[in-house]
Amino acid sequence: MSAEELLAFLGRHPYLSLALVGLTMALLYTEIGRLMRGYKALRPAELTGLINREDALVVDLSPSNDFDKGHIAGSKSVAPSQFDPESKLLANVKNLPVVMVCRNGMASAGAAKRLKKAGFEQVYWLDGGIAAWQQADLPLVKGRG
């Protein structure tokens, strides 16, 4: 397609052209925001690697009864209402990888943002939460331990 043909198309279809520009701007805004936020989404396989390589602290924000039904081995349960970046659990790990987890990935993303603002250096969240973990056929531990 030549530049002349492109300009002719844009002239004949102003609404499609405007939609294309709008979608392009939205994608750019989203991607730049993702790169600038300072915390990273992990897929389940990436999380297993981080736990094994760097002994990441996994903090699970699931309600207590959901945590008991199934959680990632070694994760620590913290009720969302009790989550505080200045808590004893997190006091000595500001330089270590901390991964926030919840049932679907929504609450954990907000908690990751709070950790980054509090000065934590390596902050992650499990994209899709425990549901994504289960979908990847990775094991869960039942009970409190």
Indicate which residues carry an active-site annotation.
102
d(CA 134, CA 68): 15
**Cα dihedral 116→107→42→139 (10° resolution):** 130
d(CA 70, CA 115): 24
Whether the Cβ atoms of residue 98 and residue 57 lie closer than 8 Å to each other: yes
Whether the Cβ atoms of residue 101 and residue 72 lie closer than 8 Å to each other: yes
Q: Between vectors from CA 64 to CA 124 and to CA 50, what angle results, nearest 5°?
A: 25
